[in-house]
Each structure stands twice: as structure tokens, then as C-alpha cells.
A = this chain, B = another copy of it.
Amino acid sequence: MKIAEPTVARLVQYHRLLQRLHHEGQKVVSSQEMGELLNFKASQVRKDLSYFGEIGKRGVGYHVERLFKHIDEILSPPRQWKMALVGVGHLGTALLGYGAFKGTKFGINALFDNDINKVGKSFSGIPCHHISEAPSIIRDQGIEVVILTVPADVAQNCIDIIADSESIRGILNFSPVSVVVPESILVYSVDISVELEKLLFYLKQNNN
């Protein structure tokens, strides 16, 4: 079952919303209400959920806890991934401060940088090593996922250093540049300036 990327993105958002509603003690929720809270159409919500076999009860909606547990099962990793972050600059530090990375699901085990003022120190309680040590530390700790928050001009170089490690399976690349990796590694890029260009493009369209 290959699920399209925008669907996965919506699933993540349903998951988060349902968790919140469950914590707030809400028992049922309609596709209408979910749609309004997330800025999706109610029909989109129903379509997505029915794809996973969830049919809301007419006039009542979905059972919050059950739906949450179902989506949780679909999304949850088989275990906690072992992750490292490369590039402890402003963006890297911002990510380390994110709530998501403080949970048990997304623990970051190691940091790497080439700045000797950072190497040997800890950030958010995680030790920072020199990038040249990455191959041995990745191997020893069995790091599987790397978050790359380095400037564009050194991104490929950093990837070349880490991509040789057998344990690496995925890279989340925040550098505004296309990178080349071995076929065994899944790369997912988040290019912030592309997001801004998309917004400006739609603003221009609205303008016409």
C-alpha cells in the first residue's frame, strides 16, 4: 500500500488533532469539525479516513479514541529510530528546541558540527561531536536517520561523509540544494524558500 505524500501529511495532522481532542476529553468528532480545525474540506476528511476503513456514524461522527489509535498504528514507527542532527547552527538549534524532538518518538542521539567551539559541548542535553567523527559514531550507535541543517555549500560534502555508513536509512535535508545519495537511503527535503515561493505564487494568482 503506497500512500501519497499529501495523504500522509494529512494523516499526521489528524493524528495530532485527535490526540489533542482525546486529551481534552472529547469522545466523538465529526468530519465537519475536523475539517474546520485543520482547514480541510469535510469531504476530504471522510475520503481519507474511509480509505483506512474508518466510516463515521451519520449525525454523530467518529469515535475519537478509537480513530486516534487506528491512525497511531498506521503512523507509528516499529520502534524509536536512532537519529542524529548535523549542523548545530540556528536552524539546528531551533529544531532541537521543538517539542516533537523532546518526545520519546523522535529522540536525537548525537549532534555533529565542524565548529570547534561547539564540539565537545552538549545542546539540549545531546553531545556534539566533530563531523569527522561521524562515520565511527554513526556505526557504534547504529544511527539510522540524519537531520541535515547545514549551509547549502557543504550539504553534499556532509552527506558523502555520512552516507557510507551502513546503518543510515533516511535523511531529512533542510539545505536549500538538491543532494545525491546512494539508492538505499531515502532523502526527504524541506526547502523553506520553496515554501515561501509557493505562498507568493498563490498570492499573485489571488491578485489576478
Contact = CB atoms under 8 A, between A and B. Distances in A.
Interface of A: 1-3, 5-6, 8-9, 11-13, 17, 37-39, 75-78, 81, 89-91, 93-95, 97-101, 106, 144-145, 147, 152, 169-170, 172, 176, 178, 186-188, 190-207
A98 B177 CA distance: 12
- As for how many copies of this chain the complex holds, the number is 2
A12 B169 contact: no
Closest 5 CB pairs of A and B: A100-B193, A90-B94, A91-B94, A188-B199, A12-B197
Contacts of A99: 152, 176, 193
Contact of A91 (B91, B101, B196, B206): B91
B90 A145 contact: no
A48 to B, nearest CB: 14
21 contacts: A3-B205, A5-B198, A8-B202, A12-B194, A12-B197, A12-B198, A13-B191, A17-B178, A39-B178, A75-B197, A76-B204, A78-B204, A78-B207, A98-B193, A99-B193, A144-B203, A145-B200, A170-B199, A186-B199, A188-B195, A190-B195
Contacts of A190: 190, 192, 195
A90 B97 contact: yes
Given A81-B200, A98-B193, A170-B203, 13 more contacts: A8-B201, A11-B201, A75-B201, A90-B93, A90-B94, A90-B97, A95-B192, A99-B193, A100-B196, A106-B200, A145-B203, A170-B200, A170-B202
B94 A203 contact: no
A20 to B, nearest CB: 10
